[in-house]
Structure 1
Amino acid sequence: ALAVDQKDCWSVHTVAHVHEMKADIEEGLSFMKQTENNWKGGDMLACHIYWHWALYFIEKGEYEAALTLYDKYLAPICIASGSMLDIVDNSSLLHRLQMEGVKIGKRWDDVVQVTKKHTKDHILIFNDLHFLMSSLGAKDHEMTAQLLQPLKELSEFPGESYQHSLIGELGRPLSQALVEFDSGNYDKVVELMYPIRYKIVNIGGSNAQVTASAH
């Protein structure tokens, strides 16, 4: 497909996933650098492809390079668009960097201003977890409580929603695991996540995306 149209962002995105899943970090970095001018104008996927690029840097241990991509591209795009994919990318990338011990500074404060308006959505567990990453990162305790309390209620009365039916088994333990991780209770994180480790894929997202929740 890229041989026909080098600006086909979905094809670029596919190649990015292939390099990620094969752990071809150097090839992935080279591919991104060589093709950036072809896809950086893609309205919907540009931020997400920059996210993939940043993942390669994280896996290589080059955290400053990942932060540079975040500051230069991901954050401005997300703040301007407010789109859900951009929100997920921003929350995920900062969370991954934070797990690596990188100091995020005030970056979470900008993200949480975008995610806060979605506190009551509860449409996808996948999205809720990323909203929670942002509230925990920004130390916004009120928003964290507003996210967690409805999950308890929805797990007890899920109705006909498939996503809500997963909250009891997956949504609540994953949410609590994020809270425990933020508090430094790593043994509790393992206790919560180990029994459901093979079921996490059911919340949605690609293999590259769900690893932020599964790590």
Structure 2
Amino acid sequence: MTCLDSRNLSLATNSDLAAERYRQGVDLLLSAWPGAAERLDQALAADPDFALAHAARARLHAIRGELPHARKRIEAAEALVARQGHAREQSHVDILSLVIQGRSAEALKQICTHLDSWPRDILIFSLPLGAFGLFAFSGMAAHDQARVDLCERHARHFEADDWWFLTYRGWAHTENGNLVLGRDLTQRGLELRIENANAAHALAHALYEAGEIEETEAVISQWLPGYDCSGTLHGHIAWHAALAALERGDVERALTIYTESIRPEVSLGLPINVVSDTASFLWRLQAYGHAVPDGLWEEAAAYSEDYFQKPGLAFIDVHMAILAAATGDSSALERRVEALKHLDESGALGAGPVAPALCQAVQAFAEEQYRNCIGILEPVADEVVRIGGSGAQREMVEDMRLLAFMQGGEAIKARDLLDRRLHRRPSPRDLRWREAVTR
């Protein structure tokens, strides 16, 4: 009897136990739920020559930033598929190898070809999707639409109750502005598999983007206690709750959430989330006129020193610039800007000139050089999407631009931007700011 994965694709293993543990491990990986590593290790214990289990383990290591382990695992998978001769598994492993090597453009091209033949290969399908997926970090301006297009191209291959596809398809539509459809799809995905952190996260985005601030907090407060703090998205989903509290002006609640779930001392999330969540929350707290408690900026900056020192990932470069500016490390910020400019000139920076520009704008804003900040941000305002991440994460840049208008004597521009934001989404904070600039 042929062993199958969770979407009925054949697996090159003769062990029913290995196949079962692999199915469980991949589903846990794709729902950002604890236990994936243990299940995949059990699959390999049952069949040490199970190439796709090695490959999935490599993917998990790569997600955690454990690149030496990821390379070792993917090399084992490559050796196995080379002699086993299964076309899908060979392509599957090749794509994961490209991703681990950082050859993202090649991986994206091969993924599209792979999915034309095997659209239900969900581990490969997941790679271009999400806020930190290959599309988001490709530097392309239309990555939100690209995710929708990919999902819709292959939607006919998935059952109506496929929790994984509902989750990622819903996320894609939410980020592309179709909030009603995005919320509906994501909510169904969560209902079908409540132990699905990616769906809870995507639903929080859909609610936040729709201006349903209190419902955002209610959904998170109900769901999050059932998600172990070792889950990779625990701190980030708490970050969404903290943002919602800030929206309402409940600073005490926001700081409590930050202290208990987000700060580096307590979060067990991925470094990319810990660095971006801490930097962006503290920036918002301070920019919105509230005091940042002593030591929090320094704590976040100290954590970041072990990660992302090499410039080139535009999304994280902006957050590293925020930490440097907040702690007065102007030389580190200047070095990052110069390095990004060199990368851009060489054609190696996917996001292009918007990356160094945003870092410079961060410095100008921190120094209260608001006119200078406006002059930097205005020409690149339509290019910010190229740094990747989600709309909620990139909103910080728009907030910076808006506050620079307000502080830099550009009341008319501030009102125009606020009116566009309020038309898109009702926001208690924007309403307060609109009243302030109208006085």
Q: TM-score, normalised by structure 1?
A: 0.89
Are residues 42 and 20 of structure 1, via their aligned partners in 2, closer, same or farther at CA, if it must alter by over 3 Å? farther
- 1:154 corresponds to which residue? 343
Are residues 27 and 82 of structure 1, via their aligned partners in 2, closer, same or farther at CA, if it must alter by over 3 Å? closer
Q: Which has the larger radius of gyration?
A: 2
- Please tell me whether residue 7 in structure 1 is matched to residue 195 in structure 2: yes
The answer for unaligned runs of 5 or more in structure 1 is none
- 1:141 corresponds to which residue? 330
- 2:316 corresponds to which residue? 127
- 1:175 corresponds to which residue? 359
1:142-188 alpha-carbon deviations (Å, 9 max, x no partner): 32233223123223323xx3xx15342x0122111100000001122
Letter in 2 for 1:125: A
Matches for 1:96-107 after TM superposition, within 5 Å: 96-104=284-292, 105-107=294-296
Structure-1 separation of matches of 2:225 and 2:308 = 36
- Please tell me whether residue 113 in structure 1 is matched to residue 302 in structure 2: yes
- Count matched residues: 209
Structure-2 separation of matches of 1:137 and 1:211 = 19
- Please tell me whether residue 92 in structure 1 is matched to residue 280 in structure 2: yes
Are residues 42 and 180 of structure 1, via their aligned partners in 2, closer, same or farther at CA, if it must alter by over 3 Å? same
Matches for 1:8-23 after TM superposition, within 5 Å: 8-23=196-211
Are residues 17 and 186 of structure 1, via their aligned partners in 2, closer, same or farther at CA, if it must alter by over 3 Å? same
Structure-1 separation of matches of 2:398 and 2:306 = 25
The answer for unaligned runs of 5 or more in structure 2 is 1-188, 400-439
Are residues 40 and 156 of structure 1, via their aligned partners in 2, closer, same or farther at CA, if it must alter by over 3 Å? same
Kindly report the root-mean-square deviation, in angstroms, between the aligned alpha carbons of the 2 structures. 1.8
Letter in 2 for 1:115: S
Moved over 6 A (4+): none
- 1:35 corresponds to which residue? 223
Are residues 37 and 117 of structure 1, via their aligned partners in 2, closer, same or farther at CA, if it must alter by over 3 Å? closer
Letter in 2 for 1:141: S
Per-residue deviation, 1:100 = 0.6
Are residues 166 and 11 of structure 1, via their aligned partners in 2, closer, same or farther at CA, if it must alter by over 3 Å? closer
- Please tell me whether residue 56 in structure 1 is matched to residue 244 in structure 2: yes
Q: TM-score, normalised by structure 2?
A: 0.45
Larger displacement relative to structure 2 (109-118 or 7-16): 109-118
Does the CA-based 8 Å contact 1:8-1:39 persist in structure 2? no
